Amino acid sequence: MARRDSKDLANRVALTGFWIAALTTVFILGAVIVYVFVNGIGEISLEFIFTKPHGVNAEGGIWPMIVATLYVTGLAMLIVTPIAVLAAVYLAEYAVQGQLVRTIRFAADTLASVPSIVMGLFGLAFFVEALKLEFSVLSGALALSFLMLPIVMRTTEEAIRAVPKYIRWGSYGLGATKWQTVSRIVLPSAAPRIITGIILATGRAVGETAVVIFTMGTMIYTPVLPTDPGRSMTVHLYQMAMEGINLPAAFGTALLLMVMILAFNLFARWLLRRNRRMQG
């Protein structure tokens, strides 16, 4: 009897522990969102989104930063996607599974865990200075693509591996070559998960600060050419806040940034769910 009671007690204690942990998580998340929302919502207006800042305190809008952010991440996505997908196809389908492939995979995982400020430093030394690309959207996009590459490559590889063997066999059984099977069956089947991976990586790039401050610079400028400099929303937020220039603008920027990243993630989830329904 006593044992039973102590077991019940242990159960209850554990359960309460889980509850507290879960509630804390939700609370922290909620607190951050509410705090940013309350402080930022007053700033958000059409003017804030669509006009340039002016004056010493950077009043007005953040349009150049929005453009620079979308430009640099979009370009990074364009650079990363073909390289990552081709590399993943090679790793998953063609490479002889052995030491070399394991090494490449390990390298990708390591690359994924390099602190982004280190990647920024590398970008500064290599793209900005050695390749003389200056502080530009292009330098930023190239450095960001280093950050995104391992994520997209690994999710793509997993998506390819998740395509069932019997579907591939169906294709081979009809006299398809390996390339025909990969390009017509495997990649289309894996596409939704690959796209999800790309979107998630892009979402991360949107929120990246260290890399872009080192490579795209801090100049408030609406970039048109890839060689133009610019300031990302994250960098803007950093400067507004740290230099005490305009705290409300910092919160407004933060709120917009969060909404953008949330939209990215929701879009990725929606894609995945839609695909799951379609494949029934």
Q: Check the CA dihedral 255-257-262-267 and report its sign.
A: positive
Using the rule CB under 8 A, give the single segment among 10-18, 20-28, 159-167, 216-224 that binds other proteins: 159-167
Which of residues 59 and 93 has its CB atom nearest to other proteins in the complex?
Answer: 93
Return the axis-axis angle of helices 63-89 and 137-161, rounded to nearest 10°: 40
Cα end-to-end distance, the chain, whole Å: 50
Residue 174 binds to other proteins (criterion: CB under 8 A): yes
Does 54 bind other proteins (CB under 8 A)? Our answer is no
d(CA 225, CA 109): 33
CB closer to other proteins out of 7 and 273: 273
Q: Residues touching other proteins: how many (CB under 8 A)?
A: 20
Q: How far is CA 132 from the centre of its chain?
A: 27
How far is the C-alpha of 246 from the C-alpha of 61, rounded, in Å? 12
Identity of residue 34: V
Residue number with CB closer to other proteins (159 or 206): 159
Residue 33 vs 167, nearer CB to other proteins: 167
Whole-angstrom Cα distance, residue 45 to residue 54?
Answer: 16
196 part of the interface to other proteins, by CB under 8 A: no
Q: Does 278 bind other proteins (CB under 8 A)?
A: yes
The yes or no reply on residue 184 touching other proteins (CB under 8 A) is yes
Nearest distance in Å: CB 166, other proteins: 5
Q: Rule CB under 8 A: which residues touch other proteins? A: 164, 166-167, 169-177, 180, 184-185, 188-189, 278-280
